[in-house]
Structure 1
Amino acid sequence: MIDVHIRPATADEAENVLAFWKEAAEGTSITDDVEGVTRLIERDPEALILAESGGLLVGSVIAGYDGWRCSLYRLAVRPSHRRQGVSTALLDAAERRFLAVGGRRGDAMVLEANERAQRAWASAGYHREDHWRRWVKPFPAA
């Protein structure tokens, strides 16, 4: 395991986080822009958790809590730092956050085709619930 520093992101890091996700995360979202990331951080300053090693951003997870659900998104680790405990440290931080606010269950969004991510979530103790499907509706720009 490498030495990592876990901390919440700040709004001025939105561009750096987006660049990191292009390298380390699978898939994209309509909220993958500076405005979306900044809005997340301003609304919930503890939600976007970053992992750094030697000053380099090596991992991220969004641990969102809305008072009802504990939602996990964007668990990503820089390819050169995978299998070194970064995702474990990030998920530990996310789960501590959830427990502190009374959360009862973590709910992770995982791409169907991302088998590596599915293995990572399974090894962290999460399991797939096939009886649920995600339904989405993009809203028009304001």
Structure 2
Amino acid sequence: MKIRIMTIEDYDQVYHLWKTIHGFGIRSIDDSREGVERFLKRNPTTSVVAEEDGKIVGCILCGHDGRRGCFYHVCVEEAYRKHGIGRQMVAASMRALQSEGINKVSLIAFTQNDIGNAFWNRIGWTKREDLNYYDFTLNEENITVFIE
């Protein structure tokens, strides 16, 4: 298993992986090839993939704004879970953030994502109970589709 920096050349395999993850939310604009390419250009060293024999089996989109890092779209193909791949990808992205002077990283996990929430708890992340999360849609055409 190889954990390496994600490039736009990985997009087709990564997008295919996303479409296999139950409950995964894919946005029509942000998660398009152009949207991911824009994200990777802004954050060229922090997103990673897990690759086994040329096949991408895991991914983290990770970026930062100069102050705090954020994980997006963390996933591992179901058949490859429980082998430490998620932990390795998280560690690689966190090292990349630290090398850029970032001292804190956050993520959003859907409340019904039992597998993901258990993973974050298991590896020592803290669920915040002291704040509310808000967002505002700037482009109504950026539709989210959930994978069933």
Identical counterparts, % of pairs: 23
Q: What is the Cα deviation at residue 25 of structure 1?
A: 6.2
State how far apart, in whole Å, the 2-side matches of 1:53 and 1:28 are.
24
- Whether contact under 8 Å (2:46, 2:97) holds in the other structure is no
Equivalent position SS for 2:63: strand
Amino acid of the residue matched to residue 6 of structure 1?
A: I
Aligned to 1:121: 120
State how far apart, in whole Å, the 2-side matches of 1:134 and 1:72 are.
15
TM-score (norm 2): 0.85
Equivalent position SS for 1:23: coil
Alignment root-mean-square deviation, CA: 1.6
TM-score (norm 1): 0.88
1:15 correspondence with 2:12: yes
State how far apart, in whole Å, the 2-side matches of 1:77 and 1:113 are.
17
Equivalent position SS for 2:134: coil
Aligned to 2:109: 110
Q: What is the Cα deviation at residue 48 of structure 1?
A: 2.1
Unmatched runs of 5 consecutive residues or more in structure 2? 142-148
Of the structure 1 ranges 117-126 and 42-51, higher mean CA displacement relative to structure 2 is found in 42-51
Aligned to 2:21: 24
1:73 correspondence with 2:72: yes
- Rate the CA distance shift 1:69–1:119 in 2: closer, same or farther, 3 A: same
Of the structure 1 ranges 80-89 and 92-101, higher mean CA displacement relative to structure 2 is found in 92-101
Equivalent position SS for 1:51: strand
Equivalent position SS for 1:24: coil
- Whether contact under 8 Å (1:25, 1:74) holds in the other structure is no
Aligned to 1:46: 45
Amino acid of the residue matched to residue 12 of structure 2?
A: E
The aligned length equals 138
Unmatched runs of 5 consecutive residues or more in structure 1? none
